[in-house]
Amino acid sequence: MPKKDVDKLKFPLKGKYVAMLAPSFIIKFPYPSIISQLKKLGFEKIVELTFGAKLVNREYHKLLKKTSELVIASPCPGIVELINKNFPQYKKNLAKIDSPMIAMGKICKKTYPNYKTIFISPCNYKKQEAKKSKYVDFVIDYAELENLFKKFKIKHSGKKVYFDKFYNDYTKIYPIAGGMAKTAHLKGVINKNEIKSIDGAQKVIKFLTKPDKKIRFLDVLFCNGGCVGGPCIISKLSLRQKKQKVLNYLKLAKTEDIPEVKKGLLCKAKDIRFSH
């Protein structure tokens, strides 16, 4: 069995590493404590994936504006694999747009050129996706991170710390089913009844087997509830409670007084291509 990324790395990390957190982290780890906990684990820089999601949204916006063909969202590697294996007739419809993880990897490699990027993930599918990219060096999942905190006795702290850069608020709902369609500003681009959000592999299979021809944009996620239902989020919380945690995090983010330099500004992603 190939070695897991978490076992290839030596913790506490020594050297230049940037942690890229998916916003679903909030279900398992408290904010802002998670940032100082990751610093204690040796990460020099810590960013959130939400700025990457914002740039991915802009690509979908552009694509949907120029095509009348069905577009299937591709940020979820579980969906990409399902289509490639079982529904090859839809391969052409998968958007050739980066996932927020890859987009953020590109942004981090430009901003922090000598750093290794480590994505902190709610699922194993992301580990496979990262292996195909030069922008994400390692992936560790939430369960692995929790074990590392336990191993090194890194506890929560009440200290107020910020992400290093690229703080973005409205795309924090990306891990909730339909989060992309809700945040991609599609009003005026396509009609509401041409968009369908589906979460859960069985429901996706059902749709693809008997598609509704009027749908032009399929915002799909493999796990029930979206990434909030990701398999590496080991929690007793119900899906509704997990979703609520993400929504509370968004609410908090909107009231936070974040210094301008910490925000995700479009100029920071200038000249980076997020489609392929």
Q: Which is nearer to ligand SF4, 154 or 201 (CB)?
A: 201
Q: Tell me if the bond preceding 12 is cis, omega within 30° of 0.
A: yes
Which of 23, 100, 105, 122 touches ligand SF4 by CB under 6 A?
A: 122
Q: Is the peptide bond before 88 cis (omega within 30 degrees of 0)?
A: no
Site for ligand SF4 in 180-199 (CB under 6 A): none
Window of 4-12, 87-95, 151-159, 222-230 that interacts with ligand SF4 by CB under 6 A? 222-230
- Contact string (CB under 6 A) for ligand SF4, positions 61-100, x = contact: ---------------x-x----------------------
The pair of structure tokens assigned to 252 is 């908090």
* Alpha carbons 4 and 127: distance in angstroms, whole number: 9
Task: Give CA–CA dist 64/275, Å, rounded.
Answer: 13
Out of 73, 221, 250, 253, the only residue in the binding site for ligand SF4 (CB under 6 A) is: 221
CB of 129 to ligand SF4, least distance (A): 8
Q: Is the peptide bond before 32 cis (omega within 30 degrees of 0)?
A: yes
Among 57, 226, 242, 246, binds ligand SF4 (CB under 6 A): 226
**How far is residue 268's CA from residue 259's CA, in Å, rounded to a whole number?**
16
d(CA 143, CA 139): 12
**Minimum CB distance to ligand SF4 smaller for 164 or for 199:** 199
Q: What are 153's two structure tokens?
A: 């006795």
Q: Quick one: which of 227, 246, 250, 269 contacts ligand SF4 (CB under 6 A)? A: 227
Asked if 220 is part of the footprint of ligand SF4 (rule: CB under 6 A), the reply reads no
Residues lying near ligand SF4 in the complex (CB under 6 A) = 76, 78, 122-123, 125-126, 221-223, 226-227, 230
